[in-house]
């Protein structure tokens, strides 16, 4: 799975970029990202169960989700959508949150950026396949948060690889 680091001229940091080709039509991959009941089946790290999934898919709308680890620990997150261009592109701001949707810090990394700009692009490939590219960059981040982000790229690759593995398994049965 190709992963690159690309300079972000707006922030001065490096963006994390990962892509994968799925053996599924673009419309199905798009639905997997835009229908909360579908996201319940694959979103998040391996071994984590989605316990809440509520979506208002429109610019300014929010996706609020909760996950539970095998040991019972809950984690919450939210997206605030900036751009929805079906079935080509989604731009959103992602963050950790509490159960009520208020922004919180990453529980395991207090210097992780509070907000992340996330750009998902969905490109049709030959043979009915879809190339998904995810671009992730810190938003309104301090220098310390940018350093934490940049130093965490190997972990991001592992995390996104696991999540995309789950998406691939879900798409094979959807």
Q: Which domains does the chain have, with CATH numbers?
A: 3-173 (3.30.530.20)
Please enumerate in sequence order all residues whose Cβ is within 8 A of that of 125, keeping only pairs 6 or more positions apart, or say none. Answer: 21, 131
**Cβ–Cβ under 8 Å, residues 120 and 139:** no
Predicted TM-score (pTM) of this structure: 0.91
Report the pLDDT value the prediction gives residue 4, as an integer from 0 to 100. 60
Whether residue 94 has pLDDT greater than 70 = yes
Report the pLDDT value the prediction gives residue 119, as an integer from 0 to 100. 97
Whether residue 35 has pLDDT greater than 80 = yes
Mean model confidence pLDDT for the chain = 93
């Amino acid at each position: 799975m190709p992963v690159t680091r690309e300079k972000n001229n707006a922030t001065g940091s490096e963006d994390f970029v990962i892509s994968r080709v799925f053996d599924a039509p673009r419309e199905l991959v798009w639905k997997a990202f835009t229908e909360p009941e579908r996201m319940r089946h694959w979103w998040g790290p391996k071994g984590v169960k989605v316990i809440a999934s509520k979506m208002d898919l429109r610019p300014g709308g929010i996706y609020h989700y909760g996950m539970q680890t095998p040991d019972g620990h809950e984690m919450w997150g939210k997206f605030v959508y900036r751009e929805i261009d079906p079935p080509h592109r989604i731009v959103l701001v992602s963050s950790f949150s509490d159960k009520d949707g208020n922004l919180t810090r990453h529980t395991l990394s207090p210097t992780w950026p509070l907000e992340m700009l996330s750009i998902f692009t969905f490109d049709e490939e030959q043979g009915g396949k879809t190339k998904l590219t995810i671009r992730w960059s810190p938003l309104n981040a301090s220098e310390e948060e940018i350093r934490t982000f940049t130093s965490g790229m190997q972990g991001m690759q592992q995390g996104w690889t696991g999540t995309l593995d789950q998406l691939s398994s879900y798409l094979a049965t959807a």
